[in-house]
Structure 1
C-alpha cells in the first residue's frame, strides 16, 4: 500500500477526466468529490470510480459537456435536467440551490433527472451541513425492469441505491452523517439465510429502503419530461434531496449546540464489542479525513494499479505516489 497527497491525487484525477473531454472546471469538481471520499475512507466511491467514469465518457454513454437546465423552480423547489452528464455536476447545483432556498423559506426540495452516477450520497449532506441544515437525500435508477432470472425472488426486484441523512452540529467534532446503501447486507449475502437466522427485520428493512429509494429518486425524480429522449445510455439516474432549516422548528443555534453535546458525550462511552473505537455514523470518516489531510491518502495496491493503468491507457503521467 502506498500513500498519495490529497492535492496530487486531485490534480491527477482532474487530468484523467479532461483527457476524455470533460471541461477543466467540471473535471476539477468531479475529482474533488472523488478525492474527498477517498479522504474519508469510503473505498468503493472514491477514485476507484474513475475506471467506470472514464469509460462512460470515452464511449459516449455520459455527456462530457452537459448544458444543465432548469425544468421547474419555485420559492422552495428546484428541478434540474442534467443533459446526460455526470451526476455530480447537476446534483451539486441542485443541492446548493436548495440550501439557499431553505435558508430563505425554511425547507426546500431539489430533484434531478437525466444524468449519470451522483457518487457517495454523503457528499451532498455535507454541503448542507456547512449551512447548518438538516438533509435527506437519495438516488436511484429510472430504468427499472422486472428481472428474468428464474432463480430470483422479490429480493432481486430492486438494486440497492444510496440514501443519506445529515444532522448539523456545532463545530469542534464529527458530524452525524448516515450515508448508507439501501441494502444492509454484504454483496452475495443470501437474504433467505438471513431470514432463517432471525434477521427478518433487517431483511425487510433493507428491501423497503431499496424500494423507497428506487421509486422516489429513480421512477419519480429520474423520469424525463414528456417528449424528451434519453440520448446518453448511462444517464439513467435521478436524485432527490430535501433540506430543512432547524430554525423553522425551533432555535436552530441552540439545537446545534445540543447536538454537539449529545454526539460528544455519546462518543465517551465504550465502543461496542468487536469494534476498536466508539463511533457514530460519520465519525470514522471525519477522523480519517483530518488525519489523511496531513499524512496522505493510503490506497491499496489494486487501487493504485488501476489508476496507473488508467494513466497508461489515456497517455498521461501516473499519479505521484509516495514511497
Structure 2
C-alpha cells in the first residue's frame, strides 16, 4: 500500500492528463472525479482508471478538447453531443446546461450521445444536489452482462445514481451498478490475482465462477436477477436508444476497442425542489426521515443503520485526514503512466518527515 494525500494525487493526475492534451480546467474535472471516487471508497472507479484513459487519449480515440454542444432543446429537454470527449467533461457540461434550464422551467431531462466512460454517477449527482436540485444520473456501458436467462453479454452494468439534499445532514445519494457488483471490482481482482465471491459472475459457458479472469471472459450477473436485468435494459434505452448513442453491443469496449470511439450515452434529470415546496421545508422533512431511520430498532448484530451514501461520506471524511492508500498494483500502474508522459510520481507521494519515507499501513 502506498499513501497519498488527496490534493497531491489530484495534482499528479492533472499533470498527466495535461501532458496528453487536456486543458488545465478539464484535467481538474477528471482528476476530481477519479480521486473523489477513491476518497469515497469506490476505488474501482478511482485512479485505477487513469492508465486506460491515458491510453485512449494517446491513441486518439478520445477527443481531449471536445466541443460539447446542444443539438436539440425545448423548455424541459436537452440533447447534447459530447464530441467524443471524456465522460466527466461531457457530463459536467451537461449538468451545467441543465441547471440553468431547470432553474428557469422547474425540471429538465438531458440526453447525451458521443461520450465516454463517465466515472461515478455520484460525481454528477452531487453537482445538482449542491444547487438544491433532486438529481438523477445514468449511463450505459459496453455489453458485459447477459440478459436474464442467457449467457452471452448484451447489455452493460449500466449504472444509475440518485440524490436529494438534506438540511443538517449529508445528502442522501444512491450510486450503483445494475450488476451484483461493478465490473471494475472484478477487473481490480483480476489484476491483483484475487478470487471473487460466488454469485458475482458466470464464465463464458454460463457456469458460476470465483475466477476473476474467467468472469471477465464471461458475464457479470444483474442484481436481483431479472429485476436488475430489466432496470439495466431501461437505462440502456434512455441513455442509448433515445439519445442516438450506442446501445447494447454497439457501445464500444473501453478496454478492447482501441480503434474506435465508445459512443457512450448518458441521461440526467434535474428537478427544482422549490417548484413543489420551500427548499428549507423539504430539507427539514428529509432530516426527519434520516433521524427516524437512524433511530429505528436494529436487527440482531447490527450496530448502525446507514442511509444511501453515508458510508461513502464517512470514508471521505476519514481519507481526507489520513490520506488515500493505493495497492502496489495500482501504484505501479499509475507510476508507469506518469513515466510515459514525463511526470515523476515520487514528487507527489506523502512523506512522513519524522521517518523520511512513505508510510505503509500494517494491513
Q: Same fold (TM over 0.5)?
A: yes
Could you tell me which residue of structure 2 aligns to residue 157 of structure 1?
154
Which of 204, 218, 221 is residue 243 of structure 2 equivalent to? 221
Could you tell me which residue of structure 2 aligns to residue 81 of structure 1?
81
What do you get for the CA RMSD once the two structures are aligned?
Answer: 3.0
Q: How far apart are the structure 2 equivalents of 1:182 and 1:20?
A: 32
Which of 205, 210, 215 is residue 232 of structure 2 equivalent to? 210
Could you tell me which residue of structure 2 aligns to residue 111 of structure 1?
111
1:1-323 aligned at under 5 Å gives the runs 1-141=1-141, 153=150, 156-170=153-167, 172-185=168-181, 188-190=200-202, 202-223=224-245, 233-269=260-296, 277-318=304-345, 319-322=348-351, 323=359
Which structure 1 residue ranges, 5 or more long, are not aligned? 194-198, 225-229
Could you tell me which residue of structure 1 aligns to residue 195 of structure 2?
none
TM-score, scaled relative to structure 1:
0.85
Deviations 1:59-87 (CA, angstroms, capped at 9, x unpaired): 11111121112212332322211111101
Could you tell me which residue of structure 2 aligns to residue 196 of structure 1?
none
C-alpha contact 2:6 2:324 (8 A) present in aligned 1: yes
Aligned residues: 308
Any idea what SS the aligned residue of 1:84 has? Answer: coil
Residues 201 and 296 from structure 1, CA distance in 2 versus in 1: closer, same or farther, beyond 3 angstroms? closer
Q: How far apart are the structure 1 equivalents of 2:10 and 2:223?
A: 41
Deviations 1:13-70 (CA, angstroms, capped at 9, x unpaired): 0011112111222112111121111111111111111011001100111111211122
Q: How far apart are the structure 2 equivalents of 1:300 and 1:145?
A: 25
Residues 39 and 200 from structure 1, CA distance in 2 versus in 1: closer, same or farther, beyond 3 angstroms? closer
Which structure 2 residue ranges, 5 or more long, are not aligned? 187-199, 209-220, 247-251, 253-258, 352-358
C-alpha contact 1:86 1:118 (8 A) present in aligned 2: yes
